[in-house]
Amino acid sequence: MTTTQETAAAAVLDKEDLRRTVAHALDVDVAELADDTGFIADLGVDSLLALEVVVVLEKKYGIRLEESQFPRITSLAGTYEVLSEKLRSA
């Protein structure tokens, strides 16, 4: 991938916008969602709500996440990494 494509992928994925999107999907205040806040451990997210987050992200970014990636979507940092990789490879 070229540097231009990597820059474009990074421009598409703004971490603060992602933070707002995930906070809204989880129905929590943005301030509660630090990069390392565990969706399940710290926020008590159940599997149905976790799946809803995946659906929201897929719709927003126009991608399809693989089930094998779901275990990494447990914090904002992990979610950002998965989405960055997916958008760079798209």
Q: Regarding predicted confidence, which is higher, 76 or 1?
A: 76
Answer yes or no: is pLDDT of 1 > 90. no
pLDDT tens readout for residues 14-24: 999 999 999 99
CB 10 within 8 A of CB 84: yes
Is the pLDDT score of 42 beyond 50? yes
Q: Is 5 helix (H, G, I), strand (E, B) or coil?
A: helix
Contacts of 80 (CB under 8 A, 6+ apart): 13, 15, 18, 35
Domains located in the chain, CATH noted: 3-89 (1.10.1200.10)
What DSSP string runs through 34-61? -TT--TTTTT---HHHHHHHHHHHHHHH
pTM of the model: 0.85
Average pLDDT over residues 19-40: 97
